[in-house]
């Protein structure tokens, strides 16, 4: 299937590692010129060189902190100016798993505020700036990376993912008339460097080994394995394409079936 993406321009925040990196690679493989964004310029430069060499498209590494409104505005304007257009925004910059994973007695309000500022308000900052350029081009795709903690009650930081869903639906209403779709995906247990950190934290909390924690997640997943970043990127790729023009405001689990809720 031709996804009709060749020659378009994208921004991927959190684009130097994990799901963001895999998404940038998938877009580049389809002929999309990509800007990857994070706070670490050295990691960005290394990732950009590798993606550029593999796929022969322009890859622009831009260091920016999405919790800073001025930095986001400057980053989006730089990318749109460099490529002459901006068609796709993938919002992925966030603290993996969230900063507040403990019981209320130990929960840090400042950590929760930081989670919300980076993921919820950060996504909004990027969407606000990107929408200006997308409206001018008459086309846009915004894909927000949420999280399954928004569909359960295990972690206080999960409320940031609920907020991302609300924002996604609201923006889909506002931007739809301009040819811009907005969707959110919720990855399951994905084999990234960050998931190893989560395993270690959970192991210490539960009195288990890291391997036991991973095995428990796998047993809870109907397909009986963890997911790869590339599998998440494939869904993002479709949502970013003209082929997905009829899908907007949706919240989609890409989780190997680990979510047990029924969503109508």
* pLDDT tens sequence across 223-251: 999 999 999 999 999 999 999 999 999 99
CB count within 10 Å of CB 54 equals 12
Tokens of 137: 């081009």
Residue ranges, the chain, pLDDT below 50 = none
**CA dihedral (28, 33, 256, 250) positive or negative:** negative
Structure confidence at residue 35 (pLDDT): 98
Residue 30 host element (H or E): none
**How many Å separate Cα 61 from the centre of its chain?**
17
In the CATH scheme, what architecture does the domain 9-188+228-253 have?
Answer: 3-Layer(aba) Sandwich (3.40)
Q: What is the spatial distance between Cα 101 and Cα 123, in angstroms, rounded to a whole number?
A: 21
pLDDT for 128-146, tens place per residue? 999 999 999 999 999 999 9
Residue 47 is predicted with a pLDDT of 97
What integer pLDDT is reported at residue 99 of this predicted model?
86
Domain ranges of the chain: 9-188+228-253, 191-226
User: What is the rounded CA–CA span in Å between residue 26 and residue 75?
Assistant: 22
Take residue 149 and report the two structure tokens written for it: 């903690």
- In the prediction, which pLDDT does 164 show? 98
pLDDT for 161 equals 96
């Amino acid at each position: 299937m031709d996804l009709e993406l060749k020659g378009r321009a994208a921004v991927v925040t959190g684009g130097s590692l994990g799901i963001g990196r895999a998404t940038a690679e998938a877009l580049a493989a389809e002929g999309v010129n990509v800007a990857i964004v994070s706070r670490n310029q050295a990691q960005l430069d290394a990732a950009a060189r590798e993606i550029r060499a593999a796929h022969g498209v322009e890859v622009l590494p831009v260091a920016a902190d999405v919790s800073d409104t001025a930095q986001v505005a400057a980053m989006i304007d730089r990318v749109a100016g460099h490529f002459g257009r901006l068609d796709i925004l993938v919002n992925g910059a966030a603290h993996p798993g969230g900063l507040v994973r403990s019981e209320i007695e130990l929960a840090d309000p400042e950590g929760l505020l930081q989670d919300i500022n980076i993921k919820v308000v950060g996504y909004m900052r990027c969407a606000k700036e990107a929408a200006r350029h997308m409206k001018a081009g008459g086309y846009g795709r915004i894909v927000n990376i949420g999280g399954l903690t928004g569909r359960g009650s295990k972690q206080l930081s999960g409320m940031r993912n609920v907020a991302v869903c609300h924002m996604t639906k609201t923006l889909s209403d506002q931007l739809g008339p301009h040819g811009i779709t907005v969707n959110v995906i919720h990855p399951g247990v994905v084999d990234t460097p960050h998931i190893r950190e989560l395993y270690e934290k959970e192991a210490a909390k539960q009195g288990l080994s890291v391997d036991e924690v991973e095995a428990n997640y796998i047993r809870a997943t109907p397909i009986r394995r963890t997911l790869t970043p590339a599998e998440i990127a494939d869904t993002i790729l479709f949502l970013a394409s003209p082929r997905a023009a009829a899908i907007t405001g949706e919240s989609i689990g890409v989780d190997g079936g680990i979510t047990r809720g029924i969503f109508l």
